Homo-oligomer: A and B are copies of this chain.
Amino acid sequence: MSVTVPKGFRAAGIAVGLKSTGKPDLALVVNDGPVHVVAAVFTSNRAQANPILWSRKAAEDRSARAIILNSGGANCFTGDFGYETTRLTAQAVAERLDLVADDVLVCSTGLIGTGDQRFRDRIVGGVPELVARLAADDAAAAAAILTTDSVEKTATYEGEGWSIGAMAKGAGMLAPGLATMLVVITTDAVLDAETADRALRRATAASFDRLDSDGCMSTNDQVTLLASGASGVAPEEDAFADALAGVCDRLAAQLQADAEGASHDIDIEVRGALSVEDAVEVGRSVARNNLFKAAIFGNDPNWGRVLAAIGTTEAVFDPYAVDVWFNGVRLCHAGAPDRPVEECDLSPRRTRVLIELFAGEATATIRTNDLTHDYVHENSAYSS
């Protein structure tokens, strides 16, 4: 159970043949109200899929009653035909639920360039069955949005009389910018649209935006928060925002743990930065350094590659006064080697790199993964 934990939501997931495996590939989440608040953040990639273009417009009035999601095709760079497919998909859902098309958001994930007539027919043709299956049980919905993911990603939170539910997918092209992957979050808390929007932006900035598995930003990322108000309880804004941040953080950790081909989950904590922006820039420069990532795969605590990476940033610090720790062992201090690398054990999957800049008080943690043979294999044609 995930998005149907809060009151006022139904969901469903079915297989319509978009995935060659025959697994579920079409999901629907419906907000039965009494209110229909939506807040959403989208990929900041300028190359945006048709469902992003549609959902951005449909969410402008901050109201949405349903969201339909498919795997098995990104419907990105599929031209006017692809945009019409998205519109027809929303239209089909709206007709069955007695709504207008603008009440329905659409998300797609899969191969860019996929979205032909067969793709359209399967989705639009599947809507009647999908709507018929709607229930307060969403197990099939969480499965239907997966692509190369190996496990479902869900998180819930129980407040005082209200709750949050969420489902996510994402295993590759995992470097969100102001948005991420496909995530649907539901709540039965009583929220106005502004509160929902503020809380969602704060939560995503500190969670998905600091996940950088492979440096590759998707064209289809979308995080959607739907609020039904069905609990009748209006939590304090801070309480709701903190709870939402916690849910997003747990989903981000699940995405990191299931990243394509990874053998290490690496948390890069940057301390002593002059600003959070500096801390994020420094952490991200390491997360995107292939030499660093390959070294971690080989259980090699190669601190020199950390310093070479952070030296390319504009952040305020003295490169010769930085401390670098790997899994609790300080390997570099004051511009020179410190403890012997042999003291550092990188065999566990969980890896912690700490970079102390001595430039201020700000801190941030970037989550990434190592660069492995399996990553190369899964993302080369050999795997498809």
Contacts and interface: CB of A to CB of B under 8 A. Distances in A.
Interface stretch (A203-211, A271-279, A331-339): A331-339
A308 B373 contact: no
A288 interface: yes
A78 interface: yes
A12 interface: no
A256 B173 CA distance: 26
Q: Is the interface of A mostly helix, strand, loop or mixed?
A: loop
A380 B77 contact: no
Interface residues of A, number: 64
A39 to B, nearest CB: 24
Interface in A141-195: 172-173, 177
Interface in A196-241: 214-219
A328 interface: no
Nearest to A177: B312
Contacts of A375: 290, 294, 376
A304 interface: yes
User: Which 9 residue pairs across A and B have the least CB separation, nearest first?
Assistant: A112-B304, A298-B380, A47-B311, A300-B381, A79-B336, A298-B381, A294-B379, A45-B311, A46-B311
Interface of A: 44-48, 74, 76-79, 81-82, 111-113, 172-173, 177, 214-219, 288-291, 294-295, 297-300, 302-305, 307-313, 319-320, 332, 334-337, 371-373, 375-377, 379-384
Given A113-B304, A219-B304, A288-B288, 19 more contacts: A46-B311, A111-B304, A112-B302, A113-B303, A177-B312, A214-B291, A216-B291, A216-B309, A217-B308, A217-B312, A290-B379, A294-B375, A294-B376, A294-B380, A298-B382, A300-B381, A302-B381, A373-B377, A375-B376
21 contacts: A45-B311, A46-B313, A47-B308, A47-B310, A76-B304, A77-B337, A78-B336, A81-B336, A111-B304, A112-B302, A113-B304, A172-B291, A173-B291, A217-B312, A219-B307, A290-B371, A294-B376, A295-B379, A298-B382, A298-B383, A302-B381
